[in-house]
Amino acid sequence: MLKKWFGKQPPKEETIVAPLSGTVVRLEDVPDPVFAQKMMGDGIAIDPTDGDVVAPVDGEIIQLFPTKHAVGLRSEAGVELLIHVGIDTVSMNGEGFTAYVKAGDRVKRGERLLSVDFSLVREKAKSAVTPIIITNGDAIESLERKAEASATKGETILLHVQTK
């Protein structure tokens, strides 16, 4: 089977689960044009119902923003994800955010990455809606949305991705 790939690795599949519990939101409905118009990449979003953010895949933390409002991961299949907690939350300068990981950490699906005071986010930021973006779209062969109306962190499958 590998011979048909002529020395290249065969495509890898990745299942991305919900990093938060809440209501699933189409990316096009996120109240920020950068995300809604997919300028940063394709994906999905969640309007959260609790404050835990967990790893949606097994992989590595490749970035934790100093304000803790966003975290980047690379899955074992090579899918790069950005979890951007809320809209315009960078202006909160980390207030209401606690990080449990740092860049370089290896994480397992369901492991807690952040805790967030979403009542504070809803008070101080534009929205609590949290986009989950695939930032290396050029490496993606196919993306299938699997999400239901609501999601349970660490359990509900949001996306099924196949890399090139």
- Annotated active-site residue in 71, 84, 99, 116: 84
Q: Is 160 a catalytic residue?
A: no
Question: Which has the closest alpha carbon to 38: 120, 111, 117, 143?
Answer: 143
Which two tokens mark 108? 């397992």
Amino acid at 145: R
**Could you please report the per-residue DSSP string of 88-154?**
SGGGGTTTTEEES--TT-EE-TT-EEEEE-HHHHHHHSSB--EEEEES-GGGEEEEEE---SEE-TT
Q: How far is Cα 29 from Cα 123, in angstroms, rounded to an integer?
A: 20
Q: How far is Cα 26 from Cα 24, in angstroms, rounded to an integer?
A: 7
Neighbours of 91 (CB within 10 A): 11
Catalytic residues: 84
